């Protein structure tokens, strides 16, 4: 059985919590794209874990895989492994020998390119993600299999580092790259990580064929996808379902279910158009109550009403089996709650978001208004019908508009603050 978790908005939907929840019934949890731009939070009792590279199955002591589609900063990975060891875990992790490695020059380039992009800058996390994926695509990348072969690694450094140096010099940047020190630094990472590096495609396919439950943990969200997102205000990987296969070596016909994670409202870190954004007291309320501050960079997240134009597009390209709705508790206490169901542009009604950024930035959200609800005892709720009627109508509207069932409602960061409506591991 293979189940995937994909963000349906702009990231930070609560994928970490949802992955941790399904990880209990899984044998292997896999990251297949992105890198340490991701920040996934899991709360277990009084303890909060924040993972950037480590799959969110770590706390359940599952087998963990970083697939070929992930870009890996070895320093960050080692720090996460060490942190887990301090917390009493001994992570069983496999790193794809085909995964690309984030190098020091990628991190530096990330900052320089952002400055050069002016109004097209996405407000990246500056972790070197874009430059590393660029090198992968232009075939200047260094992979873990290269790190294992010290001669190839040196040969690649001797070729690539002088080219990057020329770039920095041309940009007038005061950066001096030293091949020897990069080599020595990465040799120490090699020493630490070498036993974890393997052909993870073979491992995953063999495990699947033997009947293991595999959970694919997406990072970022549908509208940060390099192809389908709001380009160029995206990340540099395929965050949608297509990325599962290319980023792990698993065939599409092995995927049994895809759960889209949807926050009950919308948030976004970084730049770019955001039609349903609230630049007012209500936006501030959502940010404060929802603690919407970046897990990776600490930046305040921009907040707005739930935007079903975005979620519907995510449903379209991912064909989600179900949606897991998170952070419904954050809306508690608001008098009126709105959902954006379409955009208006120059008198026309749009139900799909346009690819032209100028048009998108002029789109006006069209809202349906809902009555809010007050605090109540979630523990007494067993199904959608026993929800307060205002929440029921909110949930019912979303299911009808997205034509997708809601399998889970999360009403707090902890594991037990979760209402299960449908067991997706048995098939939806
Ligand atoms: P991810 O990147 O999609 O894994 O999400 P993040 O971890 O970056 O951000 C989600 C935040 O919301 C984290 O702080 C979670 O602990 C928290 N969270 C998850 N689900 C809920 C929920 O249902 N209610 C509340 N209040 N917080 C939640
Ligand atoms: P998780 O997995 C929210 C955003 C950045 C920036 C753009 C490009 O926690 O949901 P990058 O560093 O990837 O080149 O930045 O993408 N971004 C995220 N926003 N959640 C994330 O991950 C993100 N990862 C990248 O803010 O706008
Ligand atoms: Mg996050």
Domain 100-196 sits in CATH at 1.10.300.10
Phi, psi (deg, nearest 5) at residue 183: -60, -50
Is 52 in the active site?
no
Q: Say how far apart CA 132 and CA 158 lie, in whole Å.
A: 17
Q: Say how far apart CA 254 and CA 250 lie, in whole Å.
A: 7
Whether residue 259 contacts residue 324, with contact meaning beta carbons closer than 8 Å, is answered with yes
Q: Say how far apart CA 80 and CA 272 lie, in whole Å.
A: 31
Ligand 3 being an ion, which residues bring their Cβ within 5 A of it? 12, 39, 295
pTM: 0.97
Determine if ligand 1 sits within 6 Å of the CB of residue 39: yes
CATH 3.90.170.10 for the 2-88+200-420 domain, yes or no: yes
The residue ranges of every structural domain in the chain are 2-88+200-420, 100-196
CA of 12 to the centre of ligand 1 (A): 7
**Closest ligand 2 atom to the C-alpha of 127?**
12
**Closest ligand 1 atom to the C-alpha of 261?**
3
pLDDT in single tens digits along all 428 residues of the chain:
999 999 999 999 999 999 999 999 999 999 999 999 999 999 999 999 999 999 999 999 999 999 999 999 999 999 999 999 999 999 999 999 999 999 999 999 999 999 999 999 999 999 999 999 999 999 999 999 999 999 999 999 999 999 999 999 999 999 999 999 999 999 999 999 999 999 999 999 999 999 999 999 999 999 999 999 999 999 999 999 999 999 999 999 999 999 999 999 999 999 999 999 999 999 999 999 999 998 788 899 999 999 999 999 999 999 999 999 999 999 999 999 999 999 999 999 999 989 999 999 999 999 999 999 999 999 889 888 889 999 999 999 999 999 999 999 999 999 999 999 987 766 43
Quickly tell me which residue has 């997406």 as its tokens: 218
**Residue among 20, 40, 110, 146 flagged as catalytic:** 40
Sign of CA dihedral 46, 31, 253, 224: positive
The answer to whether domain 2-88+200-420 and domain 100-196 are alike in fold is no
DSSP-based three-state secondary structure for 254: helix
Cis omega (within 30 of 0) for bond into 232: yes
Determine if ligand 1 sits within 6 Å of the CB of residue 13: yes
Ligand nearest, relative to CA of residue 292: 1
Q: Where are the alpha helices (DSSP H) in 224-365?
A: 242-246, 281-289, 308-318, 357-362
Is 280 in the active site?
no
Phi, psi (deg, nearest 5) at residue 409: -120, 120
């Amino acid at each position: 059985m293979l189940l995937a978790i994909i963000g349906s908005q702009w990231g930070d939907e609560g994928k970490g919590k949802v992955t941790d929840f399904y990880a209990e019934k899984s044998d292997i949890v896999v990251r297949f794209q992105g890198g340490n731009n991701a920040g996934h939070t899991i709360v277990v009792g009084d303890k909060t874990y924040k993972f950037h590279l480590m799959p969110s199955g770590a706390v359940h002591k599952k087998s963990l895989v970083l697939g070929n589609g992930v870009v890996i900063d070895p320093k960050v990975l080692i720090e996460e492994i060490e942190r887990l060891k301090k917390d009493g875990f001994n992570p069983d992790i496999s790193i794809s020998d085909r995964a690309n490695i984030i190098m020091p020059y990628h991190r530096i380039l990330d900052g320089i390119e952002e400055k050069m992009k002016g109004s097209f800058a996405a407000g990246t996390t500056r972790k070197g993600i874009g430059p590393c994926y660029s090198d992968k695509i232009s075939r200047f990348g260094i992979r873990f299999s290269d790190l294992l072969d010290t001669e190839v690694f040196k040969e690649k450094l001797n070729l690539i580092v002088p080219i990057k140096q020329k770039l920095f010099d041309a940009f007038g940047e005061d950066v001096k790259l030293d091949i020897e020190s990069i080599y020595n630094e990465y040799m120490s990472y090699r020493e630490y990580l070498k036993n974890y590096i393997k052909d993870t495609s073979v491992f995953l396919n063999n495990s699947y064929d033997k009947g293991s439950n595999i959970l694919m943990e997406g990072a970022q969200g549908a509208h940060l996808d390099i192809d389908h997102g709001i380009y160029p205000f995206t990340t540099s990987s395929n965050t949608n379902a297509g990325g599962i296969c290319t980023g792990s070596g698993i065939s599409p016909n092995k995927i049994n279910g895809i759960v889209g994670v949807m926050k009950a409202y919308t948030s976004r870190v970084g730049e770019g158009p955001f039609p349903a954004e609230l630049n007012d007291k209500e936006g501030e309320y959502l940010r404060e109550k929802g603690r919407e501050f970046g897990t990776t960079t600490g930046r305040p997240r921009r907040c707005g009403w739930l935007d079903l134009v975005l979620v519907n597009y995510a449903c379209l390209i991912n064909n989600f089996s179900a949606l897991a709705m998170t952070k419904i508790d954050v809306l508690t206490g608001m008098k009126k709650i709105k959902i954006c169901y379409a955009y208006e542009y120059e008198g026309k009604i749009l139900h799909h978001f346009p690819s032209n950024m100028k048009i998108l930035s002029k789109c006006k959200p069209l809202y349906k208004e809902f009555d809010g609800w007050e605090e109540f005892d979630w523990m007494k709720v067993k199904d959608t019908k026993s929800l307060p009627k205002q929440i029921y109508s909110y949930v019912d509207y979303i299911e009808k508009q997205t034509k997708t069932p809601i399998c889970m409602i999360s009403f707090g960061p902890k594991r037990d603050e979760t209402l299960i409506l449908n067991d997706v591991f048995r098939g939806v």
